[in-house]
Copies of this chain bind each other. A is one copy, B any other.
Amino acid sequence: MTTELILGADIGGTAVKYVVLAAEGDVVAEGEIRTDPADPVDTLRRLAAGVAAALPSGAGRLAAAGLACAGIMSEATGRLGRSPNLPGWQNRDLGTDARAVFRDQGLALANDVNAAAYGEWRRGAGRGATDLVMIALGTGVGGGVVCGGRLHLGARQAAGEIGHTVLDPEGPLCNCGNRGCLEAYAGASGIARRAALLAVTPGAASPAFRSLVAESGQRPDAAALHGLARAGDATAIELFAWAGRHLGQAVANCVNLLDPDLVIVGGGVARAGDFVLGPCRERARGLIMAQESRDVPIVPAALGPQAAALGAAELARDRRGAR
């Protein structure tokens, strides 16, 4: 009998990351192809060809594919709605495109952060949980919710938009046009904007911090700021603490509403670790109502940048009842 393999792909604005799982869940291949920003069908064809080329001969037959995509992605209808990172793909029936390429294979479609949450739940930081909230701190901030042992998609497949929780109506302007969203505090672009502001505020930033911001053209990335914090720079440390405190308020709001087993924080900004998560935990603890829930674990994601691809594969595997 041929081994059945499962593809998981994470379709981003510039690249498609993919993994191929064996039936037992081991990763048998992984790779990346370029996203064509204007042509979903060509991208998916090259994905299928790339996967076929990457598999060792005799490895098995592709039995199912999970595709994760940035934007409002309906698992139910296969339609991709608003998708700021894939403007050429949005408002399109991606399910039909995918079926044209992956003909006889079981398909699962999901939003990328929902898929990452699913991946963390199935094989990462959330294994064994019944209820969890994942928050992904990338350029933007997304989220995913597992509720009652199921990925929660919502009535219009739009659940998990935790980046646009308003934390302070007078807060900084967000990419979405509103003020004080979590994303404006804890997304990489919100942190960069705050860093640029600190750098020009007299007395607010260290010389090293000001140089870093200047060298980056006012758009320092989270990794560089993290390096500065690790080196003991007080401005960088306080910047991540500021992001973390606001994240803590959003986490507390989620915990008050859903009381999950744990909260997982992923994405590039989360690589700053306890510089963000320490102040986050402290603020959350002060704002969580039920005493029983104040020690809810707030933990870093475990799967790294492959989380969404792994989650998409797990989703395709579970949807087809392979386990």
Structural contact, A161 and B261, CB atoms closer than 8 A:
no
Residues of B within 8 A of A145 (CB): 257-258
Structural contact, A162 and B249, CB atoms closer than 8 A:
no
Report the interface size for chain A: residues with CB under 8 A from the other chain.
Answer: 51
Interface segment among A94-102, A286-294, A301-309: the answer is A286-294
Does A237 belong to the interface (CB within 8 Å)? no
Contact of A292 among B81, B148, B160, B257 (CB under 8 A): B81
Bound-state CA distance A158–B252 (Å) is 12
Structural contact, A292 and B156, CB atoms closer than 8 A:
yes
Does A143 belong to the interface (CB within 8 Å)? yes
Interface string of A252-272 (1 = CB under 8 A from B): 111011111100000000000
Interface segment among A28-36, A55-63, A164-172: the answer is A164-172
Give chain A interface residues in 146-177, CB to chain B under 8 Å: 147-148, 150, 152-170, 176
Question: Would you give the shortest CB distance from A83 to chain B, in whole angstroms?
Answer: 11
Residues of B within 8 A of A259 (CB): 153-159, 161
Contact of A249 among B72, B169, B254 (CB under 8 A): B169
Question: Would you give the shortest CB distance from A190 to chain B, in whole angstroms?
Answer: 15
Cβ contacts A to B, 29 pairs, < 8 Å: A72-B292, A130-B155, A143-B257, A145-B257, A145-B258, A147-B147, A148-B148, A148-B150, A152-B258, A154-B258, A154-B260, A155-B260, A155-B261, A155-B293, A155-B296, A157-B292, A158-B290, A158-B292, A161-B259, A162-B257, A163-B289, A165-B257, A166-B253, A166-B287, A167-B169, A168-B168, A169-B249, A178-B287, A254-B257
